[in-house]
Structure 1
């Protein structure tokens, strides 16, 4: 067999060839890793078999976030200051109640430009779909420590602390979750991922997930008194457009820590503490009236203001007024008296 000899020059070529091939192999095998890092911004952590990327977050955090999202499935948030809720998907049908800005609603059905919802006060009805947003971030109480409840008739939400552009007008009973505070302004979460600022005056701060604390009969009457002169509106719950008799009682009791049903007859049945006679009347007691002298129904409610006077949203007057209780008309129609504050 012929023996082959390799000179030094050829040996250097062979060694250089293997070095180049080695570098090429490293590059080819590693390109998946480099591509992964470039696309995700994260170190490559893929599995050799499946090439799946592991989740950088903890499983507990992911589960908590999933549970929160699950809780708000099928819900939406109100986008306008006050939104009418109709019995049918038609603006000419009966207004049964109203929903206010940033309130949650439970979505039941969608039909063309209308959505059937269940609102906070328990009523089911239809609203225009454009007035709600499925992004519920602004009402996810788990994300915030406290919320501000508006106790004044109206309040402006500004673009910055101390003023700026008015982003939204809100009404009594509106609840906004607090993100921060600067001087006498709260930074609050708004629908659509926005942030606004409200003056702390005429608000109460309540821990997220907690009920509004109960106040007193005097505070309740003072709240009712803010509505005197407000227009009467069937199904209304705010000073923005108007209130009806039970809407006045509903919203004023709510921000004073007592949740009542929306309608007068349901309020009468719900409240267990009754007052036996006119002589036992106290400020803040609720006066329930029938539509006739036979006293077979509950059709109206007012709030006793003392000295024989009561405050009511009177359809006949077209507004919220203070009236004289000691008249034949009201005495003959007085069905019962209930007390919600001692």
Structure 2
């Protein structure tokens, strides 16, 4: 059985069927023909019955009278919101930090107190070392005698501008002069200016790795014992340090002494000094070397005393003139030296094996690490190691002087 009416007509909305409009939105000003409305008209009835209301009588214009929602430009509103956020961020992070210090300059508000910077390295002849350790030679030749070594981030002074055979003459901070490789330094001294930083960090381990990141970084360089670095950032277990040339690196906090940027390390007892010395046992021997990659006894005495609060000269001859001299006491019966009087931490200066007992020329030195035990050069002069000597050994006949710098606990 067929359904009456047109199928397409049934799909049309009531507004389309009676108003003739295709739009599903009806405007109140559009009249709608209601079926049977003509039958309701009687004489005397309102002739406008069923007609569209004139909204002007209500004070409404065409836009206000329509129920159609106006289209809004979403992109304009979004752009305005983004612009406001950008302006707020710029004000917080760029404008205010530059404006507020000027407004509060001269006040006692801690946040705006400007730290006074007194530059130390203003002489144009200052340079800073950019390698872990650089040998200083007596002459501009690697075959000449080594005077000492200078360490990474150490300040030196040029003596003249002329390079000879790739070497240039410098003076260390403690006054030693010699020649170093002319590619081992730069003239940017910002990495050693103490007033630019919050932390002064002295390496107390034999060495520390300086990395590109706080974790999972790559190696930039090694910093040897007694290397001094500066930084402004401290996190759990790590420091961010400023390196020569403006680079940034990270080091772990273990094996590092943190002090004020213009302070020196505290003087400690002899056992800490001895503990530092023992980290170099079996290191390769190098005349006047300062690092585990090549060490001398006087060089190790110099760096280990520095990190433990006492600054010694670098050479054996100068070290033998300082400190408290320990008198040599001998047993009344057999005339042997009383070994127990030489305490851990004492520096022992020796004449040569074949020198007469009247000779005062220092041939080598040793550091006492325990009663009868000494840190010194191996007989083959290839390493530095521990040697033990009992009472009456000819070793004690070679002693010229014993010097004490650190007291026991």
Provide the TM-score with structure 1 as the length reference: 0.77
Aligned counterparts, 1:1-342, within 5 A? 68=119, 71-112=122-163, 113-240=166-293, 242-277=294-329, 278-291=339-352, 292=355, 293-314=357-378, 316-326=380-390, 328-342=393-407
- Alpha-carbon distance between aligned partners in 2 of 1:264 and 1:314, rounded to the nearest angstrom: 17
2:139 aligns to what SS in structure 1?
A: coil
1:72 deviation in Å?
4.4
Q: Deviations over 1:183-233 (max 9, x none)?
A: 211000100011100000111101111111111100111100000010100
- Alpha-carbon distance between aligned partners in 2 of 1:208 and 1:72, rounded to the nearest angstrom: 20
The question of whether the paired residues in 1 share the 8 Å contact of 2:277 and 2:301 is answered with yes
- Alpha-carbon distance between aligned partners in 1 of 2:314 and 2:303, rounded to the nearest angstrom: 9
Q: Deviations over 1:224-276 (max 9, x none)?
A: 00000101001211112x11121111111111111111111210112234344
Q: Deviations over 1:269-307 (max 9, x none)?
A: 122343443342211111111122333212222111223
Say which is worse superposed, 283-292 or 229-238, in terms of deviation.
283-292
2:368 aligns to what SS in structure 1?
A: strand
2:161 aligns to what SS in structure 1?
A: strand
1:314 deviation in Å?
3.6
- Alpha-carbon distance between aligned partners in 1 of 2:388 and 2:258, rounded to the nearest angstrom: 36
* Distance change >3 Å, CA 244–CA 200, structure 1 → 2: same
2:212 aligns to what SS in structure 1?
A: strand
The question of whether the paired residues in 2 share the 8 Å contact of 1:308 and 1:324 is answered with yes
1:157 deviation in Å?
0.3
2:301 aligns to what SS in structure 1?
A: helix
1:88 deviation in Å?
1.2
1:71 aligns to what SS in structure 2?
A: coil
2:241 aligns to what SS in structure 1?
A: strand
Higher strand share: 1
Q: Which structure's relative contact order is higher, taking Cα pairs within 8 Å and 6+ residues apart?
A: 1
The question of whether the paired residues in 2 share the 8 Å contact of 1:136 and 1:191 is answered with yes
- Alpha-carbon distance between aligned partners in 1 of 2:167 and 2:343, rounded to the nearest angstrom: 45
- Alpha-carbon distance between aligned partners in 1 of 2:178 and 2:394, rounded to the nearest angstrom: 34
Count of aligned pairs = 280
1:140 deviation in Å?
0.5
- Alpha-carbon distance between aligned partners in 1 of 2:346 and 2:148, rounded to the nearest angstrom: 24
1:111 aligns to what SS in structure 2?
A: coil
Structure 1 residues not aligned, in runs of 5+: 1-57, 59-63
- Alpha-carbon distance between aligned partners in 2 of 1:329 and 1:79, rounded to the nearest angstrom: 45
2:284 aligns to what SS in structure 1?
A: coil
- Alpha-carbon distance between aligned partners in 2 of 1:266 and 1:195, rounded to the nearest angstrom: 37
1:338 aligns to what SS in structure 2?
A: strand
The question of whether the paired residues in 2 share the 8 Å contact of 1:248 and 1:313 is answered with no
- Alpha-carbon distance between aligned partners in 2 of 1:180 and 1:73, rounded to the nearest angstrom: 29
* Distance change >3 Å, CA 204–CA 115, structure 1 → 2: same
- Alpha-carbon distance between aligned partners in 2 of 1:158 and 1:279, rounded to the nearest angstrom: 45
Structure 2 residues not aligned, in runs of 5+: 1-104, 106-115, 330-338
1:141 deviation in Å?
0.9
- Alpha-carbon distance between aligned partners in 1 of 2:269 and 2:378, rounded to the nearest angstrom: 25
